[in-house]
Amino acid sequence: MKTIALGSAALLGVWLGAGGLALAQYPPTAQCPQPRFTGKAPDPIYRLPNPLADGANLATGRRLYEKDAAPSCQLCHGIKGDGMGPLAQQFDPRPRNFACKATVNGIPDGQLFWIVRNGSPGTSMPDFRSLSDEQIWQIVLYLRALAK
């Protein structure tokens, strides 16, 4: 038993010394854009543009993202939207990196709306059916701002 414990400790030391701490820097540059395979929203929703675009809606989207949505988006996605929130390391796959412009720009507004509304099966992304359509569009507007 001591051999196993010492062997495990040695492996851990090698792992940490060889860059095992790279998880602390997740998501790596190579993961921008992040591959994801969330199901496509129904066509009428997928094609919807965000109807909100003013500064007041952006500020409300930020407030929802950072604290008012339950749970708040930043707990998983991070305050900067980089997928590095306080709870991020417990999830597989990790939360989406919204700071990655290539990822966010590749997702239509309607698809983002659909994912926030319904969650993402096969991930830890919950649904936010308790939010109004307007609140979800405000969050989508803020997600776009995180990628700029």
The conformational region for residue 108 under phi > 0 = left, psi -120 to 50 = alpha, else beta, is beta
- What range does the domain containing 13 cover? 1-26
Q: Specify whether 15 is located in the same domain as 41.
A: no
Q: Specify whether 94 is located in the same domain as 45.
A: yes
Using the 8-state DSSP alphabet, how is residue 90 labeled?
Answer: G
Q: Specify whether 17 is located in the same domain as 48.
A: no
Q: Specify whether 139 is located in the same domain as 116.
A: yes
Q: How many independent structural domains does the chain possess?
A: 2
Sole residue written with tokens 């196993």 = 4
To 5 degrees, how large is the angle CA 138–CA 30–CA 26? Answer: 65
Distance, C-alpha 41 to centroid of its chain: 18
Q: Which has the closest alpha carbon to 65: 106, 44, 95, 20? A: 95
How far is the C-alpha of 100 from the C-alpha of 83, rounded, in Å? Answer: 10
Q: Model-level pTM?
A: 0.79
The CATH number of the domain holding residue 63 is: 1.10.760.10
Q: What is the pLDDT at residue 28? A: 53
Q: Specify whether 72 is located in the same domain as 115.
A: yes
Q: Specify whether 1 is located in the same domain as 40.
A: no
Q: Specify whether 98 is located in the same domain as 52.
A: yes
Q: Are 94 and 88 in contact, with CB atoms under 8 Å apart? A: yes
pLDDT in tens, the chain (148 residues): 444 333 333 333 333 333 343 444 445 555 788 877 789 999 999 999 999 988 899 999 999 999 999 999 999 999 999 999 999 999 999 999 999 998 888 899 999 999 999 999 999 999 999 999 999 999 999 999 999 7
Q: What is the pLDDT at residue 5? A: 38
Q: Are 98 and 111 in contact, with CB atoms under 8 Å apart? A: no
How far is the C-alpha of 83 from the C-alpha of 13, rounded, in Å? Answer: 27
Alpha helices, H only, the chain:
2-17, 43-46, 55-63, 74-77, 101-105, 109-118, 133-146
Amino acid at the residue 7? G
Q: Specify whether 9 is located in the same domain as 40.
A: no
